[in-house]
């Protein structure tokens, strides 16, 4: 049985959140209400948690003081090998300003309506220049898929943008988990291999990575009131929509994504 401080978070079709006591029975499949379990903050932890999504451990209690004794494996920045690897993949190259702004415009026009996961501070040339390199390369990748103009192709192909973003992900260049989830979600615009092949580069592969990270930071739970509550909701529901709508490869082969239930 879940602890007493668990509640059921219900979201009606009009988007109105409701907090109720846990029901004893499941909702029918045709119910217009989606039910998710939410772990409320435990007053004994001072309003914080070492592992935000820790209810996945089940009913076992977590000793917060003991958990904090384990530090993160990476305490320093990039190693010399990682830095040289990124240089070999040319990840620090960004398009010149006219092309940069053209790609941002294409992303906002064609990609953003499907995934409204950027904040106003991430949608201008100046802000992108000062922001996350991983997120920028992911934006360029998505935009290059809908903007195949000769200037874009002459600068870099979608495959090149993808390899840059992929290299940044695997060396852990970006530290903000929300930003990492945003960028991995954008990588699903690129699927170089058909569904008949085992691949680590399909859109479904990156979607599942994003979903896994989202669960780790508790993105599937109702966020506390604050400046990040809106973007956390939009990011979670963008993941839900992405797994519900098949990509072009999945559509052709009648194969659908699974992962969020």
Q: Return the domain boundaries, the chain.
A: 78-253
pLDDT (tens place) for every residue of the chain, 261 residues total: 444 444 434 443 444 444 444 444 444 444 443 333 333 333 333 334 445 555 555 555 666 677 666 666 666 788 899 999 999 999 999 999 999 999 999 999 998 988 899 988 887 777 666 789 999 999 999 999 999 899 999 999 999 999 999 999 999 999 999 999 999 999 988 888 777 778 788 888 898 999 999 999 999 888 888 888 999 999 999 998 887 665 543 343 334 343 444
pLDDT score for 27: 40
Q: Which residues of 227-244 are buried (b: 16+ CB within 10 A; e: fewer)?
A: eeeebbbbbbbbbeebbe
Q: Among candidates 123, 156, 130, 137, which has minimal Cα distance to 86?
A: 137
pLDDT score for 82: 93
pLDDT score for 128: 64
pLDDT score for 126: 72
pLDDT score for 259: 42
DSSP the chain: ---TTEEEEEE-TT--EEEEPPPSSPPPTT-S-EEEEEEPPPGGGTT--SSTTGGGGTT----HHHHTTS--S--S---HHHHHHHHHTTTT----HHHHHHHHHHIIIIITTT-----GGGSSHHHHHHS-HHHHHHHHHHHHHH---HHHHHH--HHHHHHHHHHHHHTT----HHHHHHHHHHGGG---S-TTS--SSSHHHHHHHHHHHHHHTTTTSPPPSSTTHHHHHHHHHHHHHHHHS--HHHHHHT-------
pLDDT score for 69: 67
Whether the model clears a pTM of 0.75, i.e. scores above it, the answer is no
> Cβ–Cβ contacts within 10 Å for residue 207, how many?
21
Phi and psi dihedrals of 200, rounded to 5? -100, 20
């Amino acid at each position: 049985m879940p602890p007493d401080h668990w509640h059921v978070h219900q979201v009606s079709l009009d988007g109105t959140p409701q907090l109720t006591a846990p029901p004893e029975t499941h909702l029918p499949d045709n119910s217009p209400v989606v039910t998710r379990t939410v772990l409320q903050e435990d007053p004994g932890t001072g309003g914080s948690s070492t592992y935000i999504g820790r209810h996945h451990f089940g009913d076992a209690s977590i000793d917060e003081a003991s958990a904090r004794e384990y530090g993160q494996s990476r305490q320093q920045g990039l190693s010399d090998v990682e830095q040289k690897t990124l240089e070999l993949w040319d990840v620090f190259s960004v398009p010149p300003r006219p092309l940069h702004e053209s790609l941002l415009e294409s992303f906002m026009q064609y990609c953003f309506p499907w995934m409204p996961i950027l904040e106003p501070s991430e949608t201008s040339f100046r802000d992108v220049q000062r922001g996350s390199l991983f997120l920028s390369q992911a934006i360029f990748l998505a935009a290059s898929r809908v903007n195949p103009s000769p200037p874009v192709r002459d600068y870099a192909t979608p495959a090149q943008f993808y390899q840059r973003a992929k290299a940044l992900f695997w060396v852990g260049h970006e530290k903000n988990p929300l930003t990492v989830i945003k960028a991995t979600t954008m990588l699903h615009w690129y699927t170089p291999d058909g569904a008949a092949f085992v691949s680590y580069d399909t859109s479904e592969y990156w979607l599942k990575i994003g979903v896994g990270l989202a669960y780790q930071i508790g993105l599937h739970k109702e966020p506390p009131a604050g400046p990040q509550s809106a973007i956390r909701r939009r990011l979670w529901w963008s993941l839900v929509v992405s797994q519900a709508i098949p990509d072009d490869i999945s559509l052709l082969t009648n194969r659908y994504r699974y992962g969020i239930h």
